[in-house]
């Protein structure tokens, strides 16, 4: 493993993906921005927002936008991870790539990180923006109150759920992309992979999650297991022979 080779591949992935066209921009940047915009719009348009006691704002102000932060880590890496595999297959660029000293483990790690890093960065930045907007629009006491209420869940979501979910989505999308021959099928199938996790997240929100952070912990534990399984699968799929002879 050398860091330099991994870094080289990651930078190439980003350069290529963002020059690669609309899908990656839409999936990685545009959709999160739109979702974030919608939640801000809600904030600004509640009439008399400053007069409502914070307790009554929980649903509209915190839980709904909060859903986005469960979704972001899953949505954002999706298109990038598919692109990372499909574009190599379409351009037949894997053979010369594998003819370099690059190890297949390094390739897998680099491609995974290339999708997970932007997903986490964007999720965290979006969350930061969200906090800033609350501070701006609502009385200062609201953020203070919210922090006391939600900080455990927030930190768990951003620090635990987000990396696990982004890794899950990336590994699932890459594994699927190695096995199908067109981008649309890959997108469709990996969206199915996303569904159960998203449904679990929705379910948690309506299970009084705020009082039971253990539920989120359970989801994270399940994700960790899934991630490990997917990692094992990807390690198999990323064998040199496998890539050269069976990725079609």
Partner 1 sequence: MIHAEGLTRRFGERIAVENLSLGIGAGEVFGFLGPNGAGKTTTVRMLAGLLAPTTGRALVAGVDVCAEPQRVRSVVGIVTEHPGLYEKLSAWHNLKFYADLYDVKSSETQIEKYLNLLGLWERRCEPVGTFSKGMKQKLAIARALLHEPHVLFLDEPTSGLDPESAKTVRNFIAQLASEKRTIFLCTHNLYEAEQLCSRIGLIKQRLIKVGSPQQLKRELYGRHIIIDLKEPISLSEDWQLPFVRDVQINGRRLLVQLDDPEVQNPVLVQRLVELGAQIQFVREQDRTLEEVYLDLIAQEKP
Closer to partner 1 at the Cβ: 12 or 212? 12
Q: Which of 90, 72, 182, 53 is nearest to 127 (CA)?
A: 72
Closer to partner 1 at the Cβ: 20 or 217? 20
Q: Does 181 bind partner 1 (CB under 8 A)?
A: no
Find the helix or strand (DSSP H, E) in which 76 lies: helix 64-91
Number of residues that bind partner 1 (CB under 8 A): 27
Closer to partner 1 at the Cβ: 106 or 227? 106
Q: DSSP string covering 92-153, please?
A: T-HHHHHTSS--HHHHHHHHHHHHHHHHHHHHHHHHHHHHHHHHHHS-HHHHHHHHHHHHHH
Among 3, 4, 53, 55, binds partner 1 (CB under 8 A): 4
Q: Which of 182, 123, 187 is nearest to 155 (CA)?
A: 123
Are 49 and 137 in contact by the 8 Å Cβ rule? The answer is: yes
Task: In angstroms, give the least distance from the CB of 189 to partner 1.
Answer: 24
Q: Does 5 bind partner 1 (CB under 8 A)?
A: yes
Closer to partner 1 at the Cβ: 89 or 230? 89
Q: Does 15 bind partner 1 (CB under 8 A)?
A: yes
Closer to partner 1 at the Cβ: 91 or 141? 91
Q: Which of 138, 143, 139, 81 is nearest to 110 (CA)?
A: 81
Q: Does 217 bind partner 1 (CB under 8 A)?
A: no
Segment interacting with partner 1, rule: CB under 8 A, options 29-37, 39-47, 88-96, 186-194: 88-96
Among 96, 141, 148, 208, binds partner 1 (CB under 8 A): 96
What span, in angstroms and rounded, lies between the C-alpha atoms of 160 and 50? 33
Burial of 241 (0-12, 13-18, 19+ CB in 10 A): exposed
Q: Does 236 bind partner 1 (CB under 8 A)?
A: no
- Interacting residue ranges for partner 1, rule: CB under 8 A: 4-5, 8-9, 12, 15-16, 19-20, 87, 91-103, 240-241, 244-245
């Amino acid at each position: 493993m050398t860091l330099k080779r991994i870094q080289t591949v990651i930078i190439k992935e980003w350069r290529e993906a963002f020059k690669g066209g609309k899908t990656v921009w839409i999936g990685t940047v545009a959709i999160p921005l739109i979702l974030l915009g919608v939640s801000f719009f809600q904030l600004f348009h509640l009439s008399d927002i400053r007069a409502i006691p914070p307790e009554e704002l929980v649903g509209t102000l915190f839980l709904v936008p909060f859903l986005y932060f469960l979704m972001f880590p899953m949505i954002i890496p999706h298109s990038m991870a598919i692109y990372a595999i499909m574009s190599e297959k379409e351009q037949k660029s894997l053979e010369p790539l594998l003819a370099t000293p690059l190890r297949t483990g390094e390739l897998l790690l680099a491609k995974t990180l290339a999708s997970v890093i932007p997903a986490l960065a964007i999720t965290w930045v979006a969350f930061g923006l969200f906090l800033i907007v609350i501070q701006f629009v609502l009385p200062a006491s609201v953020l203070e109150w919210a922090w006391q209420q939600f900080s455990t869940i927030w930190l768990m979501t951003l620090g635990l759920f987000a990396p696990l979910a982004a890794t899950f989505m990336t590994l699932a999308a890459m594994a699927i992309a190695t096995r199908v021959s067109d981008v649309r099928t890959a997108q469709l199938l990996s969206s199915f992979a996303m569904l159960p996790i998203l449904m679990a997240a929705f379910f948690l929100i309506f299970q009084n999650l705020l009082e039971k952070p253990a539920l989120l912990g359970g989801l994270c534990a399940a994700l960790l297991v899934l991630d490990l399984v997917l990692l094992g699968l990807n390690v198999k799929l990323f064998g040199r022979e496998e890539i050269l002879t069976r990725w079609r």
